[in-house]
Amino acid sequence: MTPDDRETVVTIGRLLPEDRETWQTLFAGYNEFYGRTMPEEFFDHSWAGFSAGQRIHALGAKVDGTLVGIAHFLTHASTTSADSCYLQDLFTAPEARGRGVARALIEAVTGWARSQNCGRVYWSTHETNATARRLYDQVAENRGFILYTIALP
């Protein structure tokens, strides 16, 4: 059996202080995918928010002790159901893709949301993100909504 044939063991947990550098590399990769370059203060602000664990939350996925995936999420009130959990950012290192990392992160966020009595977990992705959409179509329902955004100065 080759190393690629063995089952990948993915562990999910809160981000730890020692994960900061790798988390930032992954988050920068996520933003690059969407054509954004984030200033350092955005990373600092997000990390501080995840560390506080009150408004925004983060989970990391590790394989063999190495952080290879991240999920950022938050809850908000809903007018039509219990609170909703928005999975804002999900990213897996290119070398770890296809090994169940993103699926494990989605399952972990869903479990967290269930424990918080949320009525749903939802997220968006770009229509051209075919690789991710193959997974998303397996684990969630695409209800056909189109996202509109107004950028504020």
The three-state secondary structure class of 32 is: helix
Strands (E), the chain: 10-14, 57-63, 66-76, 84-92, 120-122
> Can you list the residues of the chain whose pLDDT is less than 50?
1-2, 5
pLDDT of residue 8: 85
Residue 46 amino acid letter: S
pLDDT tens digit sequence for 96-132: 999 999 999 999 999 999 999 999 999 999 999 999 9
Residue 19 amino acid letter: D
| Separation CA 18–CA 21 (nearest Å) | 7
- Is the four-CA dihedral 11, 118, 98, 94 of positive or negative sign? negative
Sheet holding 120-122, edge to edge: 10-14, 57-63, 66-76, 84-92, 120-122
| Separation CA 30–CA 39 (nearest Å) | 14
Residue at token pair 């955004």: 149
Model pTM?
0.92
According to DSSP, the β-strands at 57-63 and 66-76 are antiparallel
pLDDT of residue 6: 56
First and final C-alpha spacing in the chain: 55
